Structure 1
Amino acid sequence: MKQKYVLTAVAVVAVGAVALGTAPMWEGTNSVKQEETRTSIIEDPVNTETEVTGTPTPLPTTAPVTGISHTDSYEDLYAQVKEWQNNSSYSNVQPRIMTVEESADAAGTDSAASNSSMAATMPEEPIDQEYGFDPSSEGKDYSTTTTQEELIDEADIVKTDGSCIYAMDSKGTLRIADAASMKLLCEINGENSSDYKEMYVDGNCLQLICQQEDYITYKGSIDLPSANAGGEKNTDGVRTSYSMPVTTVTVETYDISDREKPKKTGVYHQDGSYLSSRRTDGRMYLFTSYTPEVGDSADQLQYYVPRCGEEYIAYDHIYLPTPEKDFSYNGRIYLVAGAVAQENPDQATDVMAVVSSANIFYVSENNIYSATEIWNDRETRTEIVRIGYRDGKFTDGAAGSVAGELHNNFSMNEADDCLRIVTTVEGWDKDYSNFSRSNGLYVLNEKLKTIGKIENLAEGEQIKAARFMGDTGYFVTYRNTDPLFAADLSDPKNPRIMSELNITGFSEYLHFYGENQLLGIGWETDPDTGNVSGMKCSMFDISDPSDVRETDRFILKNVSFCDALYNYHAILAAPKKSLFGFAYGIYGDNTDVYDSSENYYYALLSYHDQNGFEPQMYLNINDSELFAGSMSYQDYCRVRGVYIGDMFYLVTEKGIVSYNIQKDYEQTGTLKWEA
């Protein structure tokens, strides 16, 4: 099967200049300030003064995280960053040196600056519980974003609160529509709206996450290399402006008590590229990736210390996990985390950075886990960092590693202060002549030390999906058939496999359908050839984990790709409503192998114990009045299905279509906009 991924190029429009004041560095705080000017159009970096409006609010003082080592000074951190660069064949991007003469033409380079960043957005991957997240949903009947943990919300591009639908398009416009009347209430276009990423809606609070690329400039005199042969330097000095791109993620918070007139209540900035976020108890935890550079000295914090709000993170809040055996500082990248409270959205209640190139996140009620996959001495390993959190503060931490690599965030789960992980282990022998693959299950304590494990499972296969419930873990491996394993984790030191169910095909996403059933969505394959014959939905009876059975299956034939399998937010999963749905694509009309055209559909299905799987509706999205045959792959990836009461809504890049569930999904309304 051909799997399709998309790299989205985002043109980012930089914003106006902001100047920071100076302040001394001191111990025991989250941040320090340093003089600099941040601007998108550099008219005269030497002589122009940028007006500062308002006084930046300093970050609250918090104690460093315990249990994990931090740097002792900025000088030590700078030396470490410099060592990384010197020991690496990878050359970091150096700051561009702009002369005064060049800067005179910079006012015309806005479009160039806007297009200087390419943002790659890959599916983060699959989440939990019957309705996803909504702690206030009791007594209400509407769908919510599919999430990994019941009480931890996750951001997405479409949300509903049971009355309104919130839709974010790829061009940076957030629209609020009244679901009952299908009336557009308002549009929000922020300063950096061309790069809105995701959002949260919680009661009367709306939070928008956007990413921007700015240019940071520094004033001063330096010696420039001469144009003469031999590279001799000028000795008289040239007044210059250093200009360096800086990526920043912004959280815009709005009071939406009046849905027609949202009021912005705060803006928070955090250096780095957007990775992920979570939200719980009125607080957002924002994760960004920051790449340090090497300047001329440790005093130049702007090169190697990330900024949160208006200030740099203090050195004792930048952590270097103890490099024990098999633990490396892979990639020399910081994972930056900031906690932002709803009631004070202009600043973080706590900030920190960890030297980690993490790309997979799992957040439980008490801990944040970040995972980095590395190739280390002939084999794959996963490095894990745990950071505890409580009431908007980061508390304690630990670091460890396990053999193999994770499939996605569902490969991790916490219970009773233990982290349970399933990985696929790949590697070569000492002579690099034989390659092997197997799978392992590991249980780690709160210090991320392995206390229990099962290794060499399903040799030659790889993990395709995983899900945990209580003391039981379920995971799927695949080569030509689909073994679904059920593991007993009641004794963390002695995990054991209770059952192994072999069926054709494999599931790529697992979702609990109540306490005794597990829904699997993936692909049907030929057990002899491995060729894909269609998309498969399976229902498993897990009432007895020692005897897991497939009770029903449904095949969608000729499906070519399904983005929802790699972005679980795109799956509507509502067991209490007996509904689930997703968008999928088909190449051509399946009669001409050379037809490269793509057709996009939305499938809505139900499942009842008596009747099994039943298709409720198939929608050809291409031919809908919203797209009229002009739908792109990017449009398809942004399709979401939601329901409110007895109404189903298909939310797309160009509008919303409503259907009455009780009237055989009769179309009742259309709200179209230009995107």
Structure 2
Amino acid sequence: MFKKIIKFSFIILISAVLVSGCTFPWQKKNSATSVEVKKEKTKEISADDVPVKTKQLMKFSDYQGLEKFFEEKSAKQGSTSGIAREVINRTETTEDFSPINIQVPGLDEADIVKFGGNYVYALLRDELKIIKINPASEAEVISTITFESQPQNIFISGNNLVVFEFADQAKVSVKVFDLANPTNPTLVRELGFEGNYREARLNGDYVYLFTDSFIDYKKGKSLIPQATSQGFTLSNDCSVASDCFAPEVFYFDIPYNSFHYFNIVAINISDKTEPISGQSYLINDEQAIYIAQKNVYLTYTEAIDEYDLEQSAKRELILADLSAEEQNKITEIEAVADYVLNTAEKKVKVAALMDNYLANLGTEEAKAIQLKISEKMKEKLMARSADTGKTTIYKIALNGKNFEYRGFAEVNGQILNELSMNEEDGYFRIATAQSSVGARLAETQSEPYSNIFVLDNELKVVGRLENLVTNEKIYAARFLGNRAYLITTKQSDPLYIISLDDPTKPTVSGALRIPDASTYFYPIDQNGHKLIGVGYNMQDDDSGLIKAKGLKISLFDFTDLAKPKELNSAIFGDVGSDSIIFEDHKSFLYSGGKNLLSLPIVLKENKQTVFSGSLIFNIIDNKFVLREKIDHISPAAKLSSFLNHDYSDSVVKRSFYINDYLFTFSNKFLKINSLLDLSLVKSLVLIEDEGDYIIAPVTENLPEDSAGAILEPTAETLEQGIKEAVTETPRDNLIDTPAEPVAGTSTEVLGEAPVETAEENLIESPSY
């Protein structure tokens, strides 16, 4: 089913590309002047420069310098190829609608569903459906666009429909359609970019496309990203062609283990005559990236290579003990030209010679030298500890078609993922955790700890909370308003609350021990005082292992940070139950104004899928009240005698409301329910039954109207383990019932708690 994700990860994909010429077209030849940026300079690297590792951002002044860089690095490291992976809506309208759950308010994110006016635009499989939804009871698909490969995401801006499509291998196609006639959308522009789609944002007239590309450098092969327009390759020299694409190429002065490009492209969708602009950043391995409304933050965490550490220790300790013949062999190996043996190959050959020496030692002598090697590794680790386990943050400003590097900063610890970063009111906030240096050196590690840093607009650290000892490793973090929430890994997860009311003094304000694993949190008020948590119901099995047995939602109250509470919770399903929320947070819908919660869920009982759809709740008197079960399993699937077939098309991927209607979308259906009583208004079939979307087996001896029946509030199904507060209520009692605040609560910001005593503020939530 869904891949279970206990942390939010958003990783990097990347694009290799063709280019010609000797100097960058944005520069005059032989130009080598520094480019001034705010608080930072971007040094330009020519063919003769040999950079040192300052962690600063530098720009190649010509393609010769870039080519020489690859030649040197590929000779030392072997192949420069590398693979990176993955990551992540809102439409302009005056109607009452629910924006899709986005990470940055005010910045439109590309998504699989968009809506505006009388239409919904939805991607499923290799198609885009345009659905007329007014009137709701007569909703219908009025046109379908079929793509040769799988479309990824879309934007709607005025009459422009922008579709991002995976084309060929490592290529993103950007297609713009004119929607003046929604029944017959017209393709008016098609662009192509080598690379893998990462994210896209819409801000004003500009679409920002973020791609990743791997690099497999070979002499004479293209060096930078290639772009096409209407099927024709764009020139990389804007001095000879107005319709061109000449991205600047930047280099982070850091140790490189592999090479990837992170590419930013700006496309004016209102003026197709404006040339597309872009920049490419040469990055190392996987790096978390946070995209704010006007800025992009790239991060890099330097890690310690345990193998290199060990080989360095061995060399220092035993090289002198090798025979003269063996020492000469090592000298000869290391003197070989890099194009004959690269650095990695040399290391392997030298290590083999030293390991052969160790293998021929006596037992006691071998034990003694291994102990010395371990001690030497620890010594080297301590010597390097000040320079490793740190995260470097690079800031790039987006301004229309222009990009501006604004500088970099460095903080202690390792970034978790993009949800561990946030920009608010001119401040950049980041949560980091202790980095690991491998099992061999585990005894040198201290208790797990976490850090919170606050940086101003110039990337100066103005506030910090360091070495917060949590006893358990932090695996998730989220910034909500002026608070940060840190979640740890074990079954009884302490949820730590960090107050950021004073950006210069982040403080531990409290902690709540939760008996289960909440992996996704969503604020239900503007101040972040109350949160909904979604996670797994964790239990010990007979063998003592902790396993997820069903899903759990919780309502938390952090109004009084010194006394946080779990107000209510509910448990659903059995082993194997899951939610798409854990891998796609846009699938979650909550509206305080409508008092509406839509939870996409797949439930299993006794290893059989019994429900795939969305559970609809109100929150009344600080309790979850189950209002409706919107089922996306087709009737044919329920009545089929086939068992355990694929059910992915029945997963609810998006929920949203427009005016008085709630919409739930899966590949199978677009279902429309009235917000007045949640009665079904329209069930629009998007994919006809194909005989292979079977969910639940037929249960013998059931009444005809209950074959395949699911989720009735009984002890065996939905209410197995569900808390007393989750109840069915009459339909005429539902929407717009406000969630009552907790009587007598008030916001109290504590003084800064000593980091060693964070556990003292721990509050046990009630056990059920």
Q: Report if TM-score (shorter chain) is over 0.5.
A: yes
Match of 2:144 in 1: 187
Structure 1 residues 21 and 641, CA gap change in structure 2 (3 angstroms):
closer
Structure 1 residues 467 and 433, CA gap change in structure 2 (3 angstroms):
closer
CA contact under 8 A between 1:265 and 1:345: conserved in structure 2?
A: no
CA distance in 1: counterparts of 2:289 and 2:488, whole angstroms: 21
Alignment of 1:520-669 (within 5 A): 520-526=533-539, 530-558=546-574, 560-587=577-604, 589-590=605-606, 595=607, 598=609, 600-610=611-621, 612-624=623-635, 632=646, 634-636=648-650, 639-666=653-680, 668-669=682-683
Structure 1 residues 431 and 478, CA gap change in structure 2 (3 angstroms):
closer
Deviations 1:118-168 (A, max 9, x none): x9986x37xxxxxx744x455x22223210111011122122225222111
CA contact under 8 A between 1:480 and 1:525: conserved in structure 2?
A: yes
Q: State which structure, 1 or 2, has the greater radius of gyration over its C-alpha atoms.
A: 2
Structure 1 residues 248 and 538, CA gap change in structure 2 (3 angstroms):
same
Structure 1 residues 557 and 654, CA gap change in structure 2 (3 angstroms):
closer
Whose helix fraction is larger, Structure 1's or Structure 2's?
Answer: 2
CA distance in 1: counterparts of 2:490 and 2:568, whole angstroms: 22
CA distance in 1: counterparts of 2:465 and 2:198, whole angstroms: 31
Deviations 1:442-482 (A, max 9, x none): 22344545444323334342334433234322232232322
Alignment of 1:115-130 (within 5 A): 124=87
Match of 1:468 in 2: 479
CA distance in 2: counterparts of 1:433 and 1:498, whole angstroms: 31
Match of 1:82 in 2: 71
Secondary structure at the aligned position of 2:498 is classed as: strand
Q: C-alpha displacement at 1:175, in angstroms?
A: 0.7
Residues 1:273 and 2:196 are matched in the alignment: yes
CA contact under 8 A between 1:70 and 1:316: conserved in structure 2?
A: no
Match of 2:224 in 1: 305
CA contact under 8 A between 1:360 and 1:372: conserved in structure 2?
A: yes
CA contact under 8 A between 1:274 and 1:289: conserved in structure 2?
A: yes
Alignment of 1:42-57 (within 5 A): none
Paired letter, 2:566: E
Structure 1 residues 443 and 667, CA gap change in structure 2 (3 angstroms):
same
Deviations 1:374-400 (A, max 9, x none): 633567554433211122321223334
Match of 1:178 in 2: 132
Structure 2: 5+ residue stretches without partners: 6-17, 30-34, 41-56, 229-233, 238-244, 307-387, 691-768
Task: Select which of 416, 434, 441 maps to 1:432.
Answer: 441
Task: Select which of 496, 499, 506 maps to 2:507.
Answer: 496
CA distance in 1: counterparts of 2:214 and 2:146, whole angstroms: 29
Task: Select which of 360, 368, 372 maps to 2:288.
Answer: 360
CA distance in 2: counterparts of 1:619 and 1:586, whole angstroms: 13
Structure 1 residues 598 and 607, CA gap change in structure 2 (3 angstroms):
closer
Q: C-alpha displacement at 1:287, in angstroms?
A: 0.7
CA distance in 2: counterparts of 1:616 and 1:382, whole angstroms: 46
Deviations 1:503-527 (A, max 9, x none): 2113211212122422221123349
Structure 1 residues 423 and 194, CA gap change in structure 2 (3 angstroms):
same
Alignment of 1:164-313 (within 5 A): 164-170=119-125, 172-179=126-133, 180=136, 181-190=138-147, 193-213=148-168, 247-297=170-220, 300=221, 302=222, 304-309=223-228, 310-312=234-236
Paired letter, 1:364: A
Task: Select which of 51, 55, 62 maps to 1:73.
Answer: 62
Q: C-alpha displacement at 1:495, in angstroms?
A: 1.9
Structure 1 residues 624 and 65, CA gap change in structure 2 (3 angstroms):
farther
Structure 1 residues 637 and 451, CA gap change in structure 2 (3 angstroms):
farther
Match of 1:9 in 2: none
Paired letter, 2:249: I
Whose strand fraction is larger, Structure 1's or Structure 2's?
Answer: 1
Q: C-alpha displacement at 1:411, in angstroms?
A: 0.8
Match of 1:40 in 2: none
Secondary structure at the aligned position of 1:208 is classed as: strand
CA distance in 2: counterparts of 1:628 and 1:354, whole angstroms: 54
CA contact under 8 A between 1:267 and 1:345: conserved in structure 2?
A: no
Residues 1:392 and 2:319 are matched in the alignment: no
Q: C-alpha displacement at 1:273, in angstroms?
A: 0.9
Paired letter, 1:196: P
Deviations 1:36-63 (A, max 9, x none): xxxxxxxxxxxxxxxxxxxxxxxxxxx9
Residues 1:317 and 2:326 are matched in the alignment: no
Q: C-alpha displacement at 1:620, in angstroms?
A: 4.3
Paired letter, 2:489: Y
Secondary structure at the aligned position of 2:633 is classed as: coil
Deviations 1:240-280 (A, max 9, x none): xxxxxxx2212111221321121223222222111111222
Structure 1 residues 120 and 427, CA gap change in structure 2 (3 angstroms):
closer
CA distance in 1: counterparts of 2:101 and 2:176, whole angstroms: 22
CA distance in 1: counterparts of 2:682 and 2:59, whole angstroms: 59
Q: C-alpha displacement at 1:412, in angstroms?
A: 0.3
Alignment of 1:9-28 (within 5 A): 25-28=23-26
Structure 1 residues 311 and 388, CA gap change in structure 2 (3 angstroms):
same
Q: C-alpha displacement at 1:636, in angstroms?
A: 4.9
Larger deviation, residues 600-609 vs 248-257: 600-609
Q: C-alpha displacement at 1:363, in angstroms?
A: 1.7
CA distance in 2: counterparts of 1:654 and 1:64, whole angstroms: 54
CA contact under 8 A between 2:23 and 2:64: conserved in structure 1?
A: no
Q: C-alpha displacement at 1:529, in angstroms?
A: 6.5
Q: C-alpha displacement at 1:210, in angstroms?
A: 0.9
Structure 1 residues 347 and 198, CA gap change in structure 2 (3 angstroms):
farther
Structure 1 residues 291 and 133, CA gap change in structure 2 (3 angstroms):
same
Q: TM-score, normalised by structure 2?
A: 0.64
CA distance in 2: counterparts of 1:380 and 1:561, whole angstroms: 34
Structure 1 residues 24 and 87, CA gap change in structure 2 (3 angstroms):
closer
CA distance in 2: counterparts of 1:631 and 1:449, whole angstroms: 55
Q: C-alpha displacement at 1:499, in angstroms?
A: 1.6
CA contact under 8 A between 1:367 and 1:389: conserved in structure 2?
A: yes
Deviations 1:340-390 (A, max 9, x none): 122024765431011124553322222112335563356755443321112
CA contact under 8 A between 1:368 and 1:387: conserved in structure 2?
A: yes
Secondary structure at the aligned position of 2:98 is classed as: coil
Secondary structure at the aligned position of 2:441 is classed as: coil
Structure 1: 5+ residue stretches without partners: 6-19, 32-62, 94-118, 126-131, 215-246
Q: C-alpha displacement at 1:484, in angstroms?
A: 2.1
Q: C-alpha displacement at 1:565, in angstroms?
A: 1.4
CA distance in 1: counterparts of 2:472 and 2:217, whole angstroms: 43
CA contact under 8 A between 1:268 and 1:345: conserved in structure 2?
A: no
Structure 1 residues 363 and 296, CA gap change in structure 2 (3 angstroms):
closer
Residues 1:350 and 2:361 are matched in the alignment: no
Deviations 1:390-423 (A, max 9, x none): 2232122333444444443221011344321112
CA distance in 2: counterparts of 1:611 and 1:480, whole angstroms: 25
Deviations 1:9-43 (A, max 9, x none): xxxxxxxxxxx998885542699xxxxxxxxxxxx
CA contact under 8 A between 1:599 and 1:622: conserved in structure 2?
A: no
Paired letter, 1:339: A
Larger deviation, residues 441-450 vs 66-75: 441-450
Structure 1 residues 23 and 89, CA gap change in structure 2 (3 angstroms):
closer
Residues 1:509 and 2:432 are matched in the alignment: no
